[in-house]
Structure 1
Amino acid sequence: MRVSGSVVVIAVLDGGSGAGLARRFAAAGTAGMLIADQYAGIAEDLAAELDRPGCPVVGVCGDIRRPSDVAALVDTAEKHLGPIDLFAVAGPDGERIISLADLPDHLDLERLAELVLLVGEAIGELVPPQRRPERTATAA
């Protein structure tokens, strides 16, 4: 997996921390990172700390358990950093890195659905069933 020169999205789940992962990616020479945390301010503060010439870092608030938030992360990363190479999920029980080498430079809806599926699998690997938050239906 090529890290140097890659654009990376790091999504942090409740109970996880993306700080160490983001620092490792920065040290390995990534071309840019988008860090997402579901709590406002956390990703933005980390992005401000790590942002440097040659490796812009963007921090946003988002919950990757929601497909619409995954779509927004992809759009934001591509707008500010270019095509995504790696998508990392940091959860309470570890990290999972997904290489997007097989996906096209621009994620259309079909490819985005594939990414959402991969992200869902990564979440399942990092969060034991008894620790997953209950999903409740909300009225639209």
Structure 2
Amino acid sequence: MTSAREEFLAGERLEDVVLFLADSYVSDERLEDFGESVDDGVLIIVDGERGRNAFQAATGTGAMEFAQSAMDLEGIIDDDLASGNCPEAPADEDHAVQFVFAFAEAQNEDVGGIYADGDVVHAYAKCTCGTAYSDRWTVQSA
């Protein structure tokens, strides 16, 4: 049996979005009713429109506006969609992801680049230091 996260990462849920909300950012145990409890938070996978609305309700910012602001700085968001490495973090400081917004885009050979290689996951994170950053990668087929 595969989880919703595994299906999303395999490119099987292109209409859905992923929200990760760290316990340190939002402490509402009711969120676990809507998603998967993971280390340090909850991961929610829902259809695109509901997901964007939930993201705005949880963070106070529009999902696409956040994605646009995070797009300018590349970082590393782990494929668990619940952690990453802030590009602004010095090696001796501990930074943590507060929240992640992610969606997948279908393969598009006409666009070229990584889009020609397969479905692409777009992920956007906000760090505890306030830095917003992005990452993207091609879905790997099993």
TM-score, with structure 1 as normaliser? 0.25
Bigger helix share: 1
